[in-house]
Amino acid sequence: MLNFYPGPSKLYPEVRTYLSDAYDEGILSTPHRGEQFVQLSRTVVGLLKRKLNIPQDYHIFFASSATECWEILIQSLTKTKSYHIYNGAFGEKWFNYAKKLRPESEGYQFDVNESMPLDQFDISDDTDLICFTQNETSNGTQVSPTTILNLHNRYRDTLIAVDATSSMAGLNLKLIKADIWFASVQKNFGLPAGLAVLVCSPRAIFRAKQLAERDHYNSLVPMYEKMLNYQTMNTPNVLNIYLLRRMLEERPFIKTIESELTDRAQDLYTFFEQFPEMKLLVENEEVRSKTVIALQASERLVDDIKKRALQYNIRLGNGYGTWARNTFRIANFPAILDEEYEELKRFFLHYYV
Ligand SMILES: *Cc1c(COP(=O)(O)O)cnc(C)c1O
């Protein structure tokens, strides 16, 4: 089965070996306060920084999902409210969680074909955190590096948090341009779900200490204190942390991965322009995602494509949220091979030209 689902997505095939290695090495039953775990955790932190270009002075934490990261950040880095800029389902969900914890939180919804309209925001001084989704998996849009830079320059005094769940480990993100970044590993990392990586600037940690929120097992300050010794509050997903180590050891630097994905995204966008009954959901090239491609067609055709693809042993991503019925999505993640996209193209050429 070829799997183009944008999360959970195709695993690196090496995961099969890593799994049995983890068992054989005995790492799965060692205590998470012991030297063997600390060693693993320290190695993974070093690898993440080196391979993904994470600034040396940023802090790395392990959580269980991106959803948990949404909650951690609202709990521990906001006193009054956060401000959410979104154009799709994941950004909106984060905003909805924030409102439950901090009812004054505000949101700004923009159009899928629009760059984030930086001069439209009304962000008051008592806003603790600005939140957005770098790559909106639900509709295949992205916030460009230039826009992130401009946002950073405009709101230098406010912490900025970025959901990079479907771009981290695929794109060479400029982490220095925001304070908080996070992703779960079942997208570009090519690993099974159940682990998230949360990255915080020194300034974010400083702010967390000021707020000193300690009401939850996953409050940021206690997480920070434990992580000074490469440990976690609760028993972590050691298996996934181990898989992350093995995967990162063997992968090239993020710059290389990004360049390959960028070329492939361009190729796929060009390819999908030729079908009369389908169109790219995102018309504005500047905001098109490099890692998730969304295609729009009639509900009937979308249904037909997905069913036929399954018969052909190809799994496509369903549409999501507002676009559930009239779109389908194709992941452009590093674990998926070029040959697999060639097979996908043959399928579309055969049935839909
Ligand atoms: C998949 C996804 C999430 C949710 O990730 P979980 O690991 O299921 O919590 C959040 N945000 C974005 C942008 C995603 O793509």
**In the listed set 227, 250, 273, which residue is the last one of a domain according to the structure?**
250
Q: Does any ligand 1 atom lie closer than 6 A to the CB of residue 138?
A: no
Q: Are residues 271 and 295 in the same domain?
A: yes
**In the listed set 250, 273, 300, which residue is the last one of a domain according to the structure?**
250
Q: How far apart are the two ends of the chain, measured CA to CA in Å?
A: 23
At residue 302, the pLDDT reads 97
Q: Can you tell me the distance from the alpha carbon of 106 to that of 110, in angstroms, rounded to the nearest whole number? A: 13
Q: Are residues 261 and 229 in the same domain?
A: no
Select from 5, 62, 64, 67 the residue to mutate for testing ligand 1; criterion: most ligand atoms less than 8 Å from CB.
67
Question: Closest ligand 1 atom to the C-alpha of 68?
Answer: 9
For residue range 155-190, what is the model confidence (pLDDT) as tens digits?
A: 999 999 999 999 999 999 999 999 999 999 999 999
Taking 90 as the threshold, does the pLDDT of residue 127 lie above it?
yes
Q: Are residues 226 and 281 in the same domain?
A: no
Instruction: Compute CA distances 217 → 15, 96, 157, 276, whole Å.
Output: 30, 22, 28, 53
Q: Are residues 123 and 46 in the same domain?
A: yes
* Token pair of 12 as six digits: 């690196």
DSSP 14: T
Q: Does any ligand 1 atom lie closer than 6 A to the CB of residue 67?
A: yes
DSSP 1: -
Question: Closest ligand 1 atom to the C-alpha of 196?
Answer: 7
Q: Are residues 139 and 204 in the same domain?
A: yes
Could you give phi then psi for residue 136, rounded to 5 degrees? -85, 100
Going from the Cα of 175 to the center of ligand 1, the distance in angstroms, rounded, reads: 19
**In the listed set 250, 270, 287, which residue is the last one of a domain according to the structure?**
250
What domain count does the chain have?
2
For residue range 218-241, what is the model confidence (pLDDT) as tens digits?
A: 999 999 999 999 999 999 999 999
Q: Does any ligand 1 atom lie closer than 6 A to the CB of residue 137?
A: yes
At residue 353, the pLDDT reads 87
Q: Can you tell me the distance from the alpha carbon of 260 to that of 257, in angstroms, rounded to the nearest whole number? A: 5
Average pLDDT score, the chain: 97
Of residues 37, 4, 14, the one with CA closest to residue 251: 14
Range of the domain at 240: 15-250
Q: Are residues 114 and 259 in the same domain?
A: no
Q: Are residues 226 and 331 in the same domain?
A: no
Q: Are residues 301 and 199 in the same domain?
A: no
**Strand ranges, E, within 64-175:** 81-86, 106-109, 127-133, 135-136, 141-142, 159-163
pLDDT above 90 covers a percentage of the chain that reads 99
Q: Does any ligand 1 atom lie closer than 6 A to the CB of residue 92?
A: no
By DSSP bridging, strand 127-133 and strand 81-86 are parallel
Q: Is 189 exposed, middle or buried (0-12, 13-18, 19+ CB in 10 A)?
A: buried
Taking 90 as the threshold, does the pLDDT of residue 18 lie above it?
yes
Q: Which residue's alpha carbon is nearest to atom 14 within ligand 1?
A: 165
Q: Are residues 97 and 225 in the same domain?
A: yes
For residue range 72-123, what is the model confidence (pLDDT) as tens digits?
A: 999 999 999 999 999 999 999 999 999 999 999 999 999 999 999 999 999 9
Q: Which residue's alpha carbon is nearest to atom 2 within ligand 1?
A: 165
Q: Does any ligand 1 atom lie closer than 6 A to the CB of residue 7?
A: yes
Select from 72, 139, 165, 185 the residue to mutate for testing ligand 1; criterion: most ligand atoms less than 8 Å from CB.
165
Q: Can you tell me the distance from the alpha carbon of 259 to that of 172, in angstroms, rounded to the nearest whole number? A: 9
- Interval 27-42 mean pLDDT: 96
The CATH number for 244's domain is 3.40.640.10
Q: Does any ligand 1 atom lie closer than 6 A to the CB of residue 165?
A: yes
Question: Closest ligand 1 atom to the C-alpha of 193?
Answer: 7
Q: Does any ligand 1 atom lie closer than 6 A to the CB of residue 166?
A: yes
Q: Are residues 244 and 263 in the same domain?
A: no
At residue 264, the pLDDT reads 98
Helix (H, G, I), strand (E, B) or coil at 337: coil
Q: Does any ligand 1 atom lie closer than 6 A to the CB of residue 163?
A: yes
- Please name every residue paired with 168 in a beta bridge, in sequence order, or none if there are none: 171
Q: Are residues 217 and 94 in the same domain?
A: yes
pLDDT confidence band for 30 (50 / 70 / 90): very high
For residue range 260-312, what is the model confidence (pLDDT) as tens digits?
A: 999 999 999 999 999 999 999 999 999 999 999 999 999 999 999 999 999 99
Q: Are residues 283 and 182 in the same domain?
A: no
The CATH number for 298's domain is 3.90.1150.10
Sign of torsion over alpha carbons 195, 97, 107, 280: positive
At residue 322, the pLDDT reads 87
Q: Does any ligand 1 atom lie closer than 6 A to the CB of residue 184?
A: yes
